[in-house]
Amino acid sequence: MKRVSFVQTVPIFGEVERNLMRVERLLPRDSDLVVLPELFNTGYLLLNKEELLKLAEPIDGITGRFLAKFSKEHGTSIVAGLPEKSKNGIYNSAMVIDETGDLVGVYRKTHLFGREKLLFRPGDTGFRVFNLSGMRVGVLICFDWIFPEASRVLALDGAEVLAHPANLVLPYAQSAMLTRSIENRVFTVTANRSGEDDRCVEKLEFTGASQITSPDMRILVRAPERGEYVGTAEIDPRDARNKKITEQNDLWMDRRPEFYGRIMRR
Ligand code: ACM
């Protein structure tokens, strides 16, 4: 059995060090995998590229080093969202750290939401599955949820758990992720934030209700809509390898990809 957790945060916009200190107090010490929200270190509502440039960090910056240290000390794998400064530009990314504290990769958000399109480069990593604490973990970021192809590709590539850092503003994803769970028979861990980013000229409110769902479409734990919260579930990742829905139906064996070609075209 494995312990998987989300940390639901209420960040203060632009206050990276304070946000990291707060997260340090919240992080569970006994989990195999912890998922943190999208852009958890900075807050979400960036007004322009100048702000983004100031707040973005390389993967091995202060945020990456802080999480790697925690991971190494506690033997915890971590998936966490941040604005990633790379030599090609700035991406809305999730860093992936294994249970030894090694930064094993990054996922760059494929489907940018709203004004993110004006700020970030579209992700170029594709969907990736990582070996973390003896689990196969695929990564999505927030709005990727609305494209079932994203979860499907990860599940077909062997993901048992979908780690889903989020800053959700629409009210649909929590229900939709239950569907992603049953249609792929995988666990999902959505780490959402709560509270609001009030930037005077614009304000956004986030929906909280972070959750962990199971391959048989159950909510194993769900946070309240408001406030910080740490949710943990004990899971057996092997449950996600069984794709049987009935005695006669196996999700993978029953697929008819010869009829799905339309999905590959615009
Ligand atoms: C979102 O993708 N942050 C809604």
pLDDT one-digit tens code per residue, 115-124? 999 999 999 9
pLDDT one-digit tens code per residue, 162-210? 999 999 999 999 999 999 999 999 999 999 999 999 998 899 999 999 9
The mean per-residue pLDDT over the stretch 229-242 comes to 98
Q: Which atom of ligand 1 is nearest to the CA of 112?
A: 2
117 is catalytic: no
Tell me if residue 226 falls in helix, strand or coil: coil
* Spans of all domains in the chain: 2-265
| Burial group, residue 150, by CB count within 10 angstroms (0-12, 13-18, 19+) | buried
DSSP state at residue 257:
G
Q: Which of 84, 85, 99, 109 is catalytic?
A: 109
CA of 44 to the centre of ligand 1 (A): 9
pLDDT one-digit tens code per residue, 99-154? 999 999 999 999 999 999 999 999 999 999 999 999 999 999 999 999 999 999 99
Q: What is the pLDDT, as a whole number, of residue 251?
A: 98
69 is catalytic: no
Q: What is the pLDDT, as a whole number, of residue 222?
A: 98
Q: Which atom of ligand 1 is nearest to the CA of 109?
A: 2
- Tokens representing 48 are 């322009």
pLDDT one-digit tens code per residue, 243-262? 999 999 999 999 999 999 99
Pocket test for ligand 1, best of 142, 164, 205, 210 (most atoms within 8 A of CB): 142
The mean per-residue pLDDT over the stretch 2-19 comes to 98
What distance in Å separates the CA atoms of residue 44 and residue 229, rounded to the nearest whole number?
19
Q: Which of 2, 38, 57, 99 is catalytic?
A: 38
200 is catalytic: no
pLDDT one-digit tens code per residue, 21-52? 999 999 999 999 999 999 999 999 999 999 99
What distance in Å separates the CA atoms of residue 73 and residue 71, rounded to the nearest whole number?
6
CATH class of 2-265: alpha beta
